[in-house]
Every structure is written in structure tokens, then in C-alpha cells.
Structure 1
Amino acid sequence: MIVIRPPSSIFVRIYGGLLIVISTVAICAYLILQVLNEQRAADYREKMATGFFHLISLGVARQPSGPARDAWLQEAGQLMNNELSLVKNVPALNFSSDELDSLSAGRVVLRLDVPHNAADIYVRVPGEKEVYLKARMSKVSEQQAKAMAVFLLDDLEQFRGQEAKRLKELQPYFAFPLSMVPLESVGLEPDQRARIKRNEVVIALKEGAGTRNSSIRIIAPAMYPGQVLVMGPMYLFEWMPVKLLLIVCAVSLGIITVAAYFIIHPLEKKIKTVEQAVRHIRAGDLGARANVDGRDEVSQLAFAFNSMAEHIQRLIDSQRELTRAVSHELRTPVARIRFGMEMMADTEELEARLEQLTELDHDIDELNKLIDEILTYAKLEQGIPVLNFETVDLGSLLARVAKETSALGLPARVEYRVLSDAAEVEAEARYLHRVLQNLAGNAGRYAQSRILLTAWVEDGWAHVAVEDDGPGIPEKDRERIFQPFTRLDDSRTRASGGYGLGLSIVSRIAFWFGGQITVGQSDTLGGARFEMSWPEVQKRRNKLPRN
């Protein structure tokens, strides 16, 4: 029993596949952006903090150990409004190798304490082994920004006359420019200039169209009149920079394009295969087929196309063979009719004329039978015939065929039997009668004394068999006998009559019933045994059989 799976929709494959790909890419892109932004934010915080805490660590290193250093730390903490302390227990801090490398390079290590909304910042004290400055910060304020300027000025005080060189040495630790410039070149507002003259630290904010264009500068009065220390501009952190967004979009678009190619290309390849097969058939190559596998609509189209091509090829081949065979078969009765008419023309005796008329009538009757066989075969061969399936009682049908065959006056005895209790099946009664009639008539020409008709139902399939005790059919010829106008050269010869179409008609009827016809040797009678089988209930057929 053939099981047909529902076809996979091409639109579901394309749109569903693209939807899955786009959703997956969007989720991955979002996660990647989040990871990148978190990493960028961590780098931004460390870069912004490194210069500030490097200045503090330098101030600590300049203080002698003991009460003086503790007092300096306390004063620095008050200036920052944060607690500062020195730690020496490295194992307890559990620094990683990367963190140790950062500390050795003079950079800070920043550890976020998310539950307490705070951060612990560590920096190595220059010149001292395994001594680290620790600060716990919960927020960044204007006071801390001003404190940074104070610490930088305190450091520059140690390098009087070499301020520019010192700023250049400190610049690698800062993520923003450090410079000493004239007050007039800074571009401050009048109130800001007045505060500078009062030795106050000024924070100047520049607002732009976005975070990338917004910045702050810390401006403090320098030790020289008319000069100011400028720290900045310090640009605010941009969570979604345009460049990064463009890169992610470009990569995502590339992934979607590649995925779409792998989703659509197989379908396009199948369509091109079908198109090539169509071109070959149009050019006259009837053997061309579209070799496409799958369950989508294109595969189903290719399957239907191949079935159509096979059917067309078979019809054309059959038409050619039928034309050749018909022309050959018609010659004999036509020749006999012509010969009989010539004989009538040459004979004047009434009795001889009547005898010739009887022969002519027999020849015309034979010609009518041949034409009827040809038309029946052509009707079954030209396409799907109109079949009106109905419930047929196999027992009654066998009895009818047995009676009709016996009425032909054959020397063989015709018997029939039904092997199943329930022998009612679905079939086209007219064509099933034709099958049994042809098989029984064929057996009658070769049987010596006995013909047996049998019917039964088993495992959802109906079966009818016709056996005889004649010479049988050689195994090498059992496939060939179902071809139109085929007659064997052994004991089943032309002398036995027939046109070689009866078994071809039986084969086509079995095909359109969704079944098959087989031939073998009868175990009961020893001669030929023909058996036709088809589905007991036609609605159980999943599809029409392939030619």
C-alpha cells in the first residue's frame, strides 16, 4: 500500500525559513551588541579611571610610610568624597593573570558590585611590591572631577618648569587630552572666567546632537598667570555607536543573504531541472525526465511532469505500434474479401455465389470483431477512462462467464468456484466481465478438457484467476504476451485465432483498476494460469498507478 505524505509548501519553506533565519540573526545580533557594549563600557570605565587613580597612586608613593601617608590618604578621600585604603594581601584579592598584567602596566582593575550599585577600583602603588590602592565608588560626581584636576596640579607642582613634558608623560594613562593653554583660548563664558580667576575648578559641558558629540572639559587655574590646565574633552559613552551598528547590520545582512541562498537555491535548481526536461521533450527527446527528489511543490510538479511525459511517450509508442499492427492485421481479411469478390465475379453458379457470400460475411464479421478490439484497446490506452465502480458479486459474475463460455461449444468443461465467504468487491462490472470473458475465451482455444475460473478476497485485495490444462506459456514469453498484437510461435499459434489484443486489453483494465495481471503455470491443471488482482475497495487507492 502506497503512503503519500502531504507536500511541504514551498512558501512555508521560503518564508518560514527566512523568518527563522531573520529571527535567529536578530537575536544573535542583539546578544552580540549587548556583549560588545558591556565590554566597551568596561573598557571605557577603566580608561576613564586609570589616569585619575594613577595620579592618586603617585601621590601615595611620594608620601613616606606611616602616619603621614595615612593622613594624606584620608585627606585625598575627603577631597573625592570616597574612602581610600591600601591593600597588600594579593591572594585574598584573587587577581587574575590579565588583571595582574593591567596593574603592572599602571592601569586600574575595576570590579563591579551590581547588587550594591558600586565598583571597587584597584591600582598599583608605583615602586612598592604588592601594594595596591583601593577605592570604592558608588557614583561619579562633580566633586570627583574637580578632585582629579587638583591631583594633576599637585603632580605638576613637582615638575616646575617642565609641565609640558610631564603632561606628555602622563598622557598615556588618560583617555582624553591634557594640556596647558592660555585662558583666552579656552572659550569660557564670563562667569566661568571669573571663577577661574578666583582659583576655582570649572567644568564646561558641551551638548551635541548625540552622546558622541556631547563632552565635558575640566578647566583649572595653572600655577602661571593667564594659563589654565585643560582636561578633555571627555566624550560620554555611546551605547550604540553608528559604526558598530553598521557593522552588525552588514554582517547580519550577509548571513541572511547566504541563508536565503541555501533556502532558495535548491528550489531554483529543481525548477531549472524541470525546465531543461521540458526543453528536451519539446526538441523531440521523449525520454527526457526531470530527476528531482523532495516533497515540496516543485518536486510534486516534477513528479507530475515525469508521469505526463511517460504517458505521452507510451501513447506515442503505442500509437505507432498500433498503426503498424492494424495495417498488418487488416490486410488478411481485406485480401480475403477482395479474393471472394473476384471469385463471385468469375462464377455464374448460384450455389457457388451463395457459398462465396457466406465466406464474405464471415470475413466481414471477423473484420468487425478486429475493429471492435482495436477501438476497445485504443479507448483504454488514450487516457483515464470513465470508470463507474460499483459493488460486484464475484460468484454471480463467474457463473455468467462460465455459462457464456460453455455456450461456445468448446470441448473443454468450464468450472468455477469462489474461495471467500464474502465475494462482493468494488469494480467496473462491464470491464471486469470483459477481463474474465477474454481470459476464458483465450483458455478455451488451448484447453484440452478443463477450464477453471476462481475468485477470492484476501487482505483487502480482490483476485480472479483463469486456468486451463493446455500447453501453457513458456516463461520467456510471459511478459511479452501482454503487448498488443503479440502471438506466440509455439502451440498457441495463429491457427488458434485471435488478434493478439485480448491480453493487452486485460492488462490495461487491470492497470486502470489499480491492480495487476500476472501469468504463470497452473498447479491444479498444469496449463496456463492468469490472475488479476485489484483493491477490494477503490477509495483505498492513494493515487492512480503510474504507467
Structure 2
Amino acid sequence: MKSRIGIRTRTFISFYLFWLCSALVIYLSIDFVQERILERLVATAQSESMREAVKRVEARLLAHPNTDWEKEVDSMGDYFIYPMAIKKIDVFSAHMDAEQYQSLKDGVIILTSDGFVLKKIRSTNDVLKIGPITPESPSVVSELSTMQLIIYVWGLTALMIALFSYLWLRPVWKDMMNVRKTALLLSSGDFSARTEWASSEIFIPIATAMNSMADRIQRLVTFRKEMTQAMAHELRTPVARIRFLLFDYFEQKKEESETSSISRIYPEIDEIESLITMGLNYARIDSDTIELVPSKQYVLTWIEAQVSAASLGASHLKFESHYGEDLGWFEIDTKMMPYVFRNLLGNAKKHAKSMIKISAERKGNHLVFAVEDDGRGIHPDEYSNIFQPFHRGAEDEEKGISGFGLGLAIAEKVILLHKGTISVSASSLGGACFTVEIPCKYPS
């Protein structure tokens, strides 16, 4: 609890200080920008105001003779806020650069660096000089300009808040996505996945705990696989020894009465060896090191060969086949994929009453085949568990039907290695229907 409170407190303090500094930066930035924008708006408003004033003064002067201009300028000084004077244009040639002086001669209103407004009066060599102009109150800014200022300020505020929010959330979001990625990889069975070093205070303990958990899971999985393989290998030795001793015993005891009861041990030994073999197959397929050896096969020929082999010793059952017109070719591991058919057909032979139906068809770039029987079927509640290792149906156990619950688990592993899927559903025949779908590399 102490550690959690410490992390919570540090997170709050860092968040508070970050946004305190951010608020200060935003305030200073907005204040600076607001002043600059306001100055620009005021200058623009003053410039427009001075242009109108200069035009009015010029028009009033042109309405009088040149000799009366000085008197007119003095009379306008009573209501005009800036000083005005009439100067000859030659006076300004020494104080202006050539380009600015030419603009003045062309009648352009000039604002000098020292705050004077100059305008050459039309058709004369006289210049109206106003100023110096002092900064005015923002009251000269129009209502439209004020609205523009508000839009600028609030727009910049929203932009800076978004920027600082991104800077705060970016490491948190990055750490969250790294943890999510690792969790998804672990859930898919990749126990080598680890979360990268977290940069945010919130996710450092989460990333550390997840990596520690992944290390422990990986050790447990590795230990389980190694133990399963070791036990299976070690069990084969005493089983083989028992079989040898039994054989030696039968060689010495020729009388049937002495050997009939002991000979019943052989089926039990066969069952133990079968369990060991299936356990080794499951451990081998369940390991991450197994690699497929794909081979190009003609689908129809290959399936018919599997069905022909499965039908041996099942004369009491009818095998019904339904195949599409052109199943084409596909690539499979010819050592591993037959196990899927042997298991599905073997299970169907165990449970079928009189018929087994095999169907295959091409759906685009996928081959779909199904094995159905007319047995008692599988209860829907067991659909989600039927592919779990060592799972056996309650009815199978009650009726003493042989099996270890590894066949379908191995079949599913093989199908997944081929990038396919396997599922179970109810058959129209009344029993179970196992459907396998695998991609085909070659077009039909």
C-alpha cells in the first residue's frame, strides 16, 4: 500500500507541476501574442484613420490658393490632434533613401521611422507633414478587429493546450500500447514477448510485473514440455522391459492354462505405449521448434487414399463420399496431415452406427472438408472443450470407449500449423460433424 501511495503521489505531483508550467507558458505566450496582434490592429486602424485624415486635409488645401495654405493649416490645428505643416519636397531628399523619396514624389503617403506622415499635395512640390504621431488607445480598433483578436487568442490557446496535452499523454499512450501489444502476444502463445522499458511513472510497475509474469510462464511452459518428453521417454524403457519379460515367460511356459490370464497384460501394455506415443507427438507438435515440410498434393487423390486406409477393418460401416468438381492442388506436410484424417475417421468409426460421410469442396483459395457420422453426437456444451488435451466426453468415459483425449488436440495443432481451422458441430446424420478448412496455395 505504501508503494502504491508513493506512485500515486509522484504521478499527481508530476502532473500538477507539468500543467502548472504549461499554464504559465500558455499565459505568457498568449499575453505576448495578444500584445503583438493588438499593436498590429491599432497600427492598421491608425493608418487607415490617417489616410482618411490626410485626404480630407489635402482636399481642403486644394480648395484654397497656395498662399492661404499656411493659414488653413493653422486653423485646422484647433481640432486636429497632431501638428501639421507645409514643407517643400526638396527638404526631405537628404533624409530619405531614393526609393522612399521617389514614392513621396509619386504621391504615396509615407510613414517615416520617427513617426511623421508625409503626403505630397497633388500638382505641387509642397508636402503635407503631420506628426509626430504618438500611439493611441486601442479604442481606435474596430469591433471586427476586436473579434479577430478574440479568435486569434482563443485559437492559439486551444492549440497550445492540445500541444501540451499531447506532450503529457504521448509517453503514457506509448507505454499503454507496448503493454497491450505484449499482452496480445502472450495471449496468443508467444511467451518470449516482453514489454519495452516504460517511460511513464504509471506503467513502470505494470511493465515490470508483466515481464516478471511472462518470465515465470515461460519457465513453467518449458519445464512442462521438458518434463512431459522426459517422462514419456523414460516410461518406454520399463514398458519394453515388461514386454520382454512376458515374452520370455511365455517361451518357458508352453501350457495354455498357465499363460491365458497373464496374456491379458499385453493389451494394457499396448495402451500404455499408445499413450506414450501420443504424449510424445503432442509434446513435439506443441513445441515451438517444429517446422512443416510442405509437399504438393492432388487433393482428390490424397483424400481418397486416406479414406481407403481408414475403411479397412470397418466392413460394417458405409463410407459415403461427396467431393466438389475440381478440388485442385494443395500443399501439406505429408507426415503430419494424415494424422488429422486418421484421427477424425478413427473417431467416426468408434461412434458411428452404420454410416460415415466424407465431403470436400473448394471455396475460393480454401479447401473445406468434413467428416460426419450417425452416432450419438457431442453435446453442444462440450464444443469449446473438445480440442483441449486429455479432455474426454462424459459419455465416452461411462461407456468405456477407449481414448486419451489427445487425438483432437494434436489434430488441431497440426491444422493450426497449416494456417487452417477445425471446428465441430451437429451432423445432419445425427452424430458429430468435424469441419477442417485450410488455405490452398494453388488455384483450382
Q: Give the TM-score category using the shorter length.
A: 0.5 to 0.7
Residue 460 (structure 1) shift: 4.2
CA pair 329-485 structure 1, distance change in 2 beyond 3 A: farther
User: Does 2:94 align with 1:173?
Assistant: no
Corresponding residue to 1:150 among 48, 61, 71: 71
Instruction: Decide whether the 8 Å contact of 2:232 with 2:280 is kept in 1.
Output: no
CA RMSD after TM alignment: 5.8
Residue 481 (structure 1) shift: 1.2
Corresponding residue to 2:382 among 477, 487, 490: 477
> For residue 173 of structure 1, what is the amino acid of its counterpart?
F
> 1:217-270 CA distances to partner (integer Å, 9 max, x unpaired)?
99xxxxxxxxxxx97644699xxxxxxxxx99x979867655655777775553
Instruction: Decide whether the 8 Å contact of 1:469 with 1:528 is kept in 2.
Output: yes
Q: Residue 411 of structure 2 corresponds to which residue in structure 1?
A: 506
User: Does 2:55 align with 1:45?
Assistant: no
CA distance in 1, matches of 2:297, 2:182: 46
CA pair 328-379 structure 1, distance change in 2 beyond 3 A: closer
CA pair 255-207 structure 1, distance change in 2 beyond 3 A: farther
Corresponding residue to 2:113 among 188, 213, 220: 213
CA distance in 2, matches of 1:478, 1:259: 50
Instruction: Decide whether the 8 Å contact of 2:232 with 2:276 is kept in 1.
Output: no
Q: Provide TM-score, normalisation by structure 2.
A: 0.56
Residue 485 (structure 1) shift: 0.8
Q: Residue 274 of structure 1 corresponds to which residue in structure 2?
A: 177
- Count of residues in Structure 1 that have an aligned counterpart in Structure 2: 345
CA distance in 1, matches of 2:279, 2:181: 32
Corresponding residue to 2:332 among 407, 428, 435: 428
Mapping of residues 57-456 of structure 1, within 5 Å:
76-79=63-66, 147=69, 149-153=70-74, 155=75, 170=78, 173-176=80-83, 205=92, 207=95, 213-214=113-114, 233-234=131-132, 257=160, 260=163, 268-277=171-180, 350-351=253-254, 366-383=271-288, 386-407=291-312, 409-410=313-314, 412-413=316-317, 415-430=319-334, 431-456=336-361
> 1:247-303 CA distances to partner (integer Å, 9 max, x unpaired)?
99x97986765565577777555313124558999xxxx99x99xxxxxxxxxxxxx
Structure 1: stretches of 5+ with no match in the other structure = 1-30, 57-72, 81-145, 157-166, 179-199, 219-229, 238-246, 291-307, 540-547
CA pair 377-477 structure 1, distance change in 2 beyond 3 A: same
Structure 2: stretches of 5+ with no match in the other structure = 1-36, 101-110, 119-127, 136-148, 195-210
Residue 420 (structure 1) shift: 0.8
Residue 428 (structure 1) shift: 0.9
Considering only CA atoms, is the larger Rg found in Structure 1 or Structure 2? 1
What secondary structure does 1:480 align onto? coil
> 1:395-438 CA distances to partner (integer Å, 9 max, x unpaired)?
2223222232233x346435252421102242314233221111
What secondary structure does 2:400 align onto? helix
Q: Residue 197 of structure 1 corresponds to which residue in structure 2?
A: none
Residue 513 (structure 1) shift: 3.2
> For residue 428 of structure 1, what is the amino acid of its counterpart?
I
> For residue 530 of structure 1, what is the amino acid of its counterpart?
F
CA pair 342-383 structure 1, distance change in 2 beyond 3 A: closer
What secondary structure does 1:44 align onto? helix
Instruction: Decide whether the 8 Å contact of 1:412 with 1:451 is kept in 2.
Output: no
CA distance in 1, matches of 2:351, 2:239: 26
What secondary structure does 1:428 align onto? strand
> For residue 113 of structure 2, what is the amino acid of its counterpart?
N
What secondary structure does 2:369 align onto? strand
